[in-house]
Every structure is written in C-alpha cells, then in structure tokens.
Amino acid sequence: MAKRAFFPTVRAGLSAGLLIAALMAPSLLHGQVTGSSTTGVDQKGQPTETVTVAAPLQKQKKEKVVQSKDTKRFISKTKKVQTSLEGKDTKLPDKQLYDKAQIAIKKGRFDIARLDLQTLLNTYPDSEYQMRSKLAIADSWYKEGGSAALTQAEQEYKDFITFFPNAPEAAEAQMRVGDIYFRQMDKPDRDYAKAVHAEEEYRLMLQQFPESKLVPQAKQRLREVQEVLATRESDIAAFYSTRDNWPATIARYQTVEDTYPLYSHMDDVLVALGDAWAAEARYVRTLKQLPEAAKANLERIYDDRSSAAYRKVVLEHSASAHVEDAKDRLAAMNLPIPTPTAEQIAASNALENSRGQYTLFGRTKLLVLHTPDVIATARDGEPTLADPAATLAPAIRKTIISDFETSMNPNAPKPAAPVASSASTPATDASAAPAPAAPVAPLTLSDVPAAGASGSSSDAAITTVVPASGSGAPSGSSAGVEIVQPAAERRTVDTGGLPSARPANAEALPAIEKPAAAPDAINDIKPGQAPAAQDGAANGKNKKPEFDKSDESSSKHKKKKGLKKLDPLPQ
C-alpha cells in the first residue's frame, strides 16, 4: 500500500516550501543562525548525523526614558536652590528651618513656610540664610497669587532690594516686581495701568542690573508689554479715523511710530498715517473759497507727508504684509517707488522672522484665558528704554492752522523767536562796570500842612516820611509814608445853608455804667414742706404708678377686650 503524502500535489508542496523560505529570509539576513551537529549510529549500524539549528538572537531595544515638563522644571528648581547651600551642615537649626520652609512652599503651604522663615529671621539674626529667607518670603507671596498676595510680594521684593542692593538675587527680585504687574496686565481695550507699571519696572531692571543673566528675559517681557501699549494707541487712532477726527488720528499714529518701533503692525500704522494726511489733502481740495495758490501749496504739504509715510513702509518694512498697499498708494500719487537696500531688506527679514506664529493652542489660550495678544511680538531688537515726547492732537491742529496761514500769506514775516534780554544788550554795556549807588540817608520825619488850609486851622496834621538823598531830587525808587493824626481844634465847614448832619451836641458821651449785681437766688420751699406726692414711703420702697388698662396694654397686663378694644376713642 502506498504511503499517503501530506500535500495532495507536488505543486502544493513546492508552494509551501517557497512560502516558508520567504518568511525565514529576514531572520537569516538580520540575525545569526547558530546550531550544532552530532554523529551517531542507528539500529541497523549505519552512521547518522543530527543537525540542531538555534533561532537567531534578537537585539533588545533600550528603553528611552523621556522626562516630562514638570520633571524638568522640578530638576531646574532643585539645581537653583542647591547653589551655595551644598556642603553645609544639615543639622544646623537655621538650615533645618530653611529646608522645612522650602518643602512647605513646594507643597503649597505658604502660611506655614512664612512662619518658619520669620522664625529663622527673628531667632538667628546672624545666620547665613538671612538673605535667602527674606527672598523666600517674597517668593511665597508671589506663588500664592491673588491681588492682595501680589501686593505684599511687591513690597517684600522692594525691601529685599533695599537691604541687599549688591546681591545677585536683587536682579531677580526686580524682575519679579515686573512680573507681578505682567501677570495682572489686561487686554489693550481695558485698563492699561498695570501695563504701564510693568514697563516701568522692566526698564528699571535693565538700567540697574545690565550685567544680570535675566537681561534677555527682561527685554522680551518689555517688548511684549510695549506690544500691548502700541496696540492700545493704534486702536484709539483707528477709532478717531472712523469719526474723521484726523488731527487726533495723526497724533496717535505718530506716537506709535516714535515710541514703539518694534510693533508687529507697524506697516498698518504707517499706511494709516499716510491715509490720514491724504484725507487732509482731500479736505483742502473741497474748499472752494480758498485761493488756488494756497490750495496748491497745502496739497503739496500734505501729499509730501503722506508719501513720506508710504516710503518708510517700502524701505524699512519691505518684508511686512502690507508693503504692496504702500506701493499702490505711491503709484496712485504718480510718485516713484523707492528700492530698499540690501541692509534694509536683511533687517526687515530678520525682524519679521523673529516674530511668533499663531497656532491652534495659542488661539485657544487667548480665547479661554482672556490674556493680551503678544504672540506676534518680535524676539529681536532693542526695546525703547525712554519714551520720547508724545505727539498730541492740539499740536497737530496748531500745525495745520500754521500751514493754512502760511499758504494764505506766503510773504508775511514769520514771528521772531523770543530773544533773551542778555543777548540784546550790547557788548560794551555788558563789559562796563555798573556805577556805584549813592548812600541812602536815614528816614526823617517832617510836618506837612494839609492842602488849601493854614497850619492853625487844619483839621489834621499829615506827617510825611521822605528818605533824604544826597542830590535833593527824588529818586524813582523812593517811597513816602503819610501819617494822619487828629488835631486839637475842628475847622468850621461852610455847608451853604444846609443843615449839618453832625449832631448838635458833639460832646463825648459818658462812660457806660456797670449793671447792678443780680440778687441772690432764694429757695421759697422750706425744708419739711415738700408736696405729699414727692414724699417717700416709710419702708423706703416707692409705689409704682397705676396702669390704665383702657389706654395701654402690655405683655404683663391683659389687653383690652370687647367694645373697649373696638372703640377708637376711649372715654
């Protein structure tokens, strides 16, 4: 009987063998096949050889440990704390208090941490952890958050800078003060007081600690704060432009251009500034009563200012998004379009490439947290450390009025600038020595009779005090004092037959007599004659007055009932 094969046909067996070979090929190529052979004798005495093949060894991949952001942040903070404290004796009581407070701060128990740190400051005034403890107290208030805690943190940081101005941590304390206002900064269309305070504190940090490691971070924060302030000014200018208030619009846009050169929408600001001056030119064209020469002059002035703003966009912001708008406006004005240099193109590209890009996470964060938009803030460039003089709307209005007056009267002389009095004095007079002043004589008294009357009949004597001078001529700076004194006799005045208003008896009235003394008070009631109602009881207890139940009621007495209760007018 023939033995039955596993595969029904030869072709099926060949196909299975090829499939197995294809599956084993990768392992044979990438792995090493190991095995052994043994030689033996079977039952019939014939030699046999047995081959053992071992599977290739797979290389085990090493597991890569990826640290999370929280782990990296914790490691960095731990390294920061263990700077100069390594190698110290951990058994010291002040060191134990400090370590205990640091652990409490990390776990969010800020009150307990401040108690331990304050105990360290009061108990060990000469400890080497005094400075670090004071800074840790401020850090605990800062990490606690809230308006009250941040206010206290600011005061603690200021005190730390006052007591330790030369410490390396003083720069960090000043940086924290700026961060306090930065955390409370609101959107550009809200209150901007926190943004102004943050700008001041970051500028102070850059000026007082220019060699600190935190300078790059402070500069970036200052750029972000100025981005918010520039957005606020630009939004206000855009509002004024919708009301056709062009002087106010020009003033706001000019302030942004002068104060915040790193603003992310500076190209929009310059284009809008040029449009505002162009609107002034269009207004001039509508004035029919204006002479043609004056109108042409004003149009030329405003067109020049408008084209200057457009040219600045093309030259200094060639990589911005709205440079084509500026070129189109220059072409509409029939003006040549300037070509920026290679240095200007490189600077514009570097500035635009340093700005952040909007992502889905960033937009979601702005939508949820209601924080100011500082994503597009430049990461390159020096922020302004001192604000130039702001351009105000009244100044722009005065400039426009001056342009009108100059165009209407081109030949009118310009008002001369005020000249100092010392400049108008000739050189010869300035070099000449002043003449010495004459000595002033002491004051003298002299009797001067009244005008139009003789000395004997005068009603009063007038004494004039005149300073005597050497030349006898009165000087311009002399002063006289007249003292009027009553005379002994009165002068009779002719009234022309009219009765005199003076009383007939002009003698002095007698002195007022002193009033008579008041009589002494007499008590008419004699002792022992008091009314009977006021006499006290024999036992010393006063009798209570009787209670009228018909008029009143209380909790201790029964209330009125029946008709007495209904009658509004009791008998």
Q: pLDDT at residue 158 above 90?
A: yes
Task: Give pLDDT tens digits for 273-304.
Answer: 999 999 999 999 988 888 888 889 999 999 99
pLDDT for residue 328: 93
DSSP 121: H
Q: Which residues contact 241 (CB under 8 A, 6 or more apart)?
A: 249, 272, 275, 276
pLDDT for residue 423: 40
Distance of CA 71 to the CA centre of its chain: 35
Confidence of residue 463 (pLDDT cuts 50, 70, 90): very low
- State the DSSP string of 513-524: PPPPPPPPP---
Phi-psi category of residue 425: left, alpha or beta, with phi > 0 → left and psi -120 to 50 → alpha: beta
Helices vs strands, H then E, count in the chain? 19, 5
C-beta contacts of 335-341 below 8 A and 24+ residues apart = 335/307, 338/311, 338/314, 340/314, 340/315, 340/316
Segment 345-360 shows an average pLDDT of 90
Cα gap 275→525, rounded to integer Å: 103
Cα gap 165→194, rounded to integer Å: 25
Cα gap 132→251, rounded to integer Å: 49
pLDDT for residue 89: 58
Tokens standing for 323?
């440079």
pLDDT for residue 363: 84
3-class secondary structure per residue, 371-422? CCCCCCCCCCCCCCCCCCCCCCHHHHHHHHHHHHHHHHCCCCCCCCCCCCHH
Q: pLDDT at residue 377 above 70?
A: yes
- State the DSSP string of 324-384: HHHHHHHHHTT-PPP---HHHHHHHHHHHHTS----HHHHHHHHHH-----TT--SSSPPP
- State the DSSP string of 176-204: HHHHHHHHT---TTS--HHHHHHHHHHHH
Cα gap 139→326, rounded to integer Å: 50
Phi-psi category of residue 570: left, alpha or beta, with phi > 0 → left and psi -120 to 50 → alpha: beta
Distance of CA 385 to the CA centre of its chain: 15
pLDDT for residue 22: 78
C-beta contacts of 427-433 below 8 A and 24+ residues apart = none
Q: Three-state DSSP class for 75?
A: helix
pLDDT-above-70 percentage for the chain: 64
Q: Three-state DSSP class for 117?
A: helix
Q: Which residues contact 483 (CB under 8 A, 6 or more apart)?
A: 462, 463, 464, 465
Confidence of residue 262 (pLDDT cuts 50, 70, 90): very high
Tokens standing for 309?
């703003």
Task: Give pLDDT tens digits for 27-79.
Answer: 655 545 455 556 666 665 666 656 555 555 444 555 566 777 777 777 776 66
Task: Give pLDDT tens digits for 503-512.
Answer: 666 677 777 7
| Residue 300: closest CA among 275, 278, 269 | 278
| Residue 272: closest CA among 297, 300, 248 | 248
Cα gap 263→241, rounded to integer Å: 20
Task: Give pLDDT tens digits for 234-247.
Answer: 999 999 999 999 99
Residues paired with 463 in a beta bridge: 447, 483
Q: Which residues contact 394 (CB under 8 A, 6 or more apart)?
A: 247
Residue written as token pair 């797979």: 58
Confidence of residue 425 (pLDDT cuts 50, 70, 90): very low
Does 418 or 438 have the greater pLDDT score?
438
First-last CA distance in the chain: 147
| Residue 387: closest CA among 188, 199, 251, 236 | 199
Tokens standing for 207?
């000026």
Tokens standing for 559?
């209330």
Given a contact cutoff of 8 angstroms between Cβ atoms, the answer to whether 331 and 301 are in contact is no
pLDDT for residue 421: 39
pLDDT for residue 454: 46
Residue written as token pair 């000449």: 432
DSSP 437: P
The widest CA-to-CA distance across the chain, in whole angstroms, is 189
Which amino acid is located at 117 in the chain? L
Q: Give the least confident one: 63-67, 343-347, 407-411, 479-483.
A: 479-483
| Residue 329: closest CA among 349, 315, 309, 351 | 309
54 phi and psi angles, rounded to 5 deg: -100, 145
| Residue 269: closest CA among 253, 284, 252, 246 | 253
Exposed/middle/buried for 262, CB within 10 Å: 0-12, 13-18, 19+? buried
